[in-house]
């Protein structure tokens, strides 16, 4: 009876301490963001299993240790030697085999879940993702190649992201979706997501990739099917460019070529200078000289972005392929609509309106 009392007391204390740690310590500290994808479900179950196991192991060790310290402490006047214990083979075998089995079990479980989450789905829609210092670009090959700096996803539609970096390593991470994948230059990587909750989220880069790593963010909108279709229609309805003014076209190019990822229109400084009031302004360059932001300077800065960098900004951030990309677009408009357009002239006209 004497021994049984201690076993019961320790068991009860371990259970109470486990519950306390799980719900009042680990739970609040590691509160996960809302789960907003199908992939989040099995991952959250694994997180929860880990929290339970961590709480239990910590409770088991601390309760037995503290219980021994307080309950079996030396009584006043007790000068006897304690019993000499050499070892306990049964206990040692048990504490080797049981944790080994648990760790292997978690490993197998993790592998099975990873396999499920990365398995291709016949209904999945492909979206290409480009990462570059320090912006994201999304391309929808199944929606006539829409390109956009924000990621728009139809709810409950499985998507596969086909990702590649234009420079260094980046990592695509939306905490609410749980899954994460690196982007590599020159090699495609894939990430599969099925968003389940309509709402606004953010992609954040989770691989340190240079000075502006922490601001490498992009908006994510999960919308219902009809809203997605409307968004695609709006994006794919090719405007009759000849009917638009240069200013209106310039505003289209501003988002279509992703200028908006780095250049604001409201004077906030992002990766590149704001366009607000920039036209005809004097700016100081890295070498201390000044130039006027006129047509020639703007054209040169788009075609050859590293040539004259404004003081306070860094070279090699702006993609250097705008000349080809814009020429391709101009040729496409010429062949489909028979209209001659100079995209840079349009952009300059747009900039002139940004007082
Ligand atoms: Cu891209 Cu950090």
> 314-351 pLDDT, tens per residue?
888 888 889 999 999 898 888 878 788 899 999 999 99
Q: How many CB atoms sit inside 10 A of residue 2's CB?
A: 5
Distance (Å) from CA 217 to ligand 1 centroid: 9
Please report the atom of ligand 1 found closest to the CA of residue 131.
1
**246, 343: one domain:** yes
Number of domains present in the structure of the chain: 3
As a dihedral over the C-alpha atoms of residue 59, residue 63, residue 65, residue 70, rounded to 10 degrees, the angle is: 160
Distance (Å) from CA 352 to ligand 1 centroid: 33
What pLDDT was estimated at residue 176? 93
- The continuous run of DSSP H or E covering 172 comes out as strand 170-173
Please report the atom of ligand 1 found closest to the CA of residue 214.
2
User: Which residues of the chain fall below pLDDT 70?
Assistant: 1
> Is the omega angle on the peptide bond into residue 134 within 30 degrees of 0, that is, cis?
yes
Q: Is residue 276 part of a domain?
A: yes
Q: Is residue 79 part of a domain?
A: no
Please report the atom of ligand 1 found closest to the CA of residue 171.
1
Distance (Å) from CA 262 to ligand 1 centroid: 14
In a 10 Å sphere around its CB, with 0-12 CB exposed, 13-18 middle and 19+ buried, how is residue 196 labelled?
A: middle
- Enter the DSSP assignment of 233: H
Residue with CA closest to ligand 1 atom 1:
170
Please report the atom of ligand 1 found closest to the CA of residue 216.
1
Q: Is residue 75 part of a domain?
A: no
- From 179, 213, 237, give the residue that closes a domain: 237
Q: Is residue 93 part of a domain?
A: no
CB of 154 within 8 A of CB of 228? yes
Query: Helix (H, G, I), strand (E, B), or coil: what is residue 310?
Result: strand
Please report the atom of ligand 1 found closest to the CA of residue 168.
1
CATH of the domain at 215: 2.60.40.420
**231, 258: one domain:** no
**138, 53: one domain:** no
Q: Which of 261, 193, 234 is nearest to 39 (CA)?
A: 193
Distance (Å) from CA 132 to ligand 1 centroid: 8
Expressed as residue numbers, the domain containing 138 is: 125-237
Within 6 A (CB) of ligand 1 lie 131, 134, 170, 205, 207-209, 213, 216
Adjacent-strand bridge partners of 217: 204
**Phi and psi (nearest 5°) for 90?**
-55, -45
What pLDDT was estimated at residue 1? 53
Is the pTM here over 0.85, yes or no? no
d(CA 310, CA 48): 51
Token couple for 126: 């492909």
**222, 201: one domain:** yes
Please report the atom of ligand 1 found closest to the CA of residue 133.
1
Q: Is residue 345 part of a domain?
A: yes
CA angle 285, 212, 150 (to 5 degrees): 105
Distance (Å) from CA 4 to ligand 1 centroid: 58
Q: Which of 179, 134, 186 is nearest to 161 (CA)?
A: 179
**343, 281: one domain:** yes
**279, 342: one domain:** yes
C-alpha distances out from residue 120 to 43, 126, 255, Å: 18, 11, 32
What pLDDT was estimated at residue 286? 84
- Residue identified by tokens 């880069």 is 205
Distance (Å) from CA 317 to ligand 1 centroid: 13
Distance (Å) from CA 131 to ligand 1 centroid: 8
d(CA 158, CA 168): 28
> 87-127 pLDDT, tens per residue?
899 999 999 999 999 999 999 999 999 999 999 988 899 99
What pLDDT was estimated at residue 239? 74
């Amino acid at each position: 009876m004497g021994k049984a009392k201690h076993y019961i007391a320790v068991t009860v204390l371990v259970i109470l301490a486990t519950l306390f740690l799980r719900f009042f310590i680990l739970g609040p500290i590691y509160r996960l963001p809302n789960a907003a994808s199908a992939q989040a479900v099995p991952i959250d179950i694994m997180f929860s299993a880990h929290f339970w196991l961590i709480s239990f192991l910590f409770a088991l060790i601390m309760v037995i240790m503290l219980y021994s310290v307080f309950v079996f402490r030396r009584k006043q006047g007790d000068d006897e030697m304690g019993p000499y214990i050499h070892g306990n083979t049964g206990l040692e075998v048990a504490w080797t085999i049981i944790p080994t089995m648990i760790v292997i079990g978690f490993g197998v479980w993790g592998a099975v879940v990873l396999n499920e989450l990365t398995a291709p789905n016949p209904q999945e829609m492909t979206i290409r993702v480009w990462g570059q210092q320090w912006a994201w670009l999304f391309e929808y090959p199944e929606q006539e190649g829409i390109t956009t700096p924000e990621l728009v996803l139809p709810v409950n539609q499985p998507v596969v992201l086909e990702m590649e970096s234009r420079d260094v390593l980046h990592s695509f991470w939306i905490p609410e979706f749980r899954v994460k994948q690196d982007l590599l230059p020159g090699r495609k990587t894939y990430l599969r997501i099925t968003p389940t909750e309509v709402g606004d989220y953010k992609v954040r880069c989770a691989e340190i990739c240079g000075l502006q790593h922490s601001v490498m963010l992009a908006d994510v909108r999960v919308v219902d099917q009809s809203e997605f279709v409307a968004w695609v229609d709006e994006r794919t309805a090719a405007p009759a460019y000849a009917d638009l003014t240069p200013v209106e076209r310039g505003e289209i190019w501003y988002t279509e070529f992703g200028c908006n990822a780095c250049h604001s229109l409201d004077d906030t400084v992002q990766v590149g200078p704001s366009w607000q009031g920039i036209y005809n302004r004097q700016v100081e360059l890295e070498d201390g000289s000044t130039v006027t932001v006129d047509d020639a300077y703007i054209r040169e800065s788009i075609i050859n972005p590293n040539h004259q960098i404004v003081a306070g900004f860094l070279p090699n951030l702006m993609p250097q392929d705008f000349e080809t990309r814009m020429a391709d677009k101009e040729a496409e408009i010429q062949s489909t609509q028979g209209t001659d357009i100079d995209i840079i002239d349009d952009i300059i006209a747009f900039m002139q309106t940004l007082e």
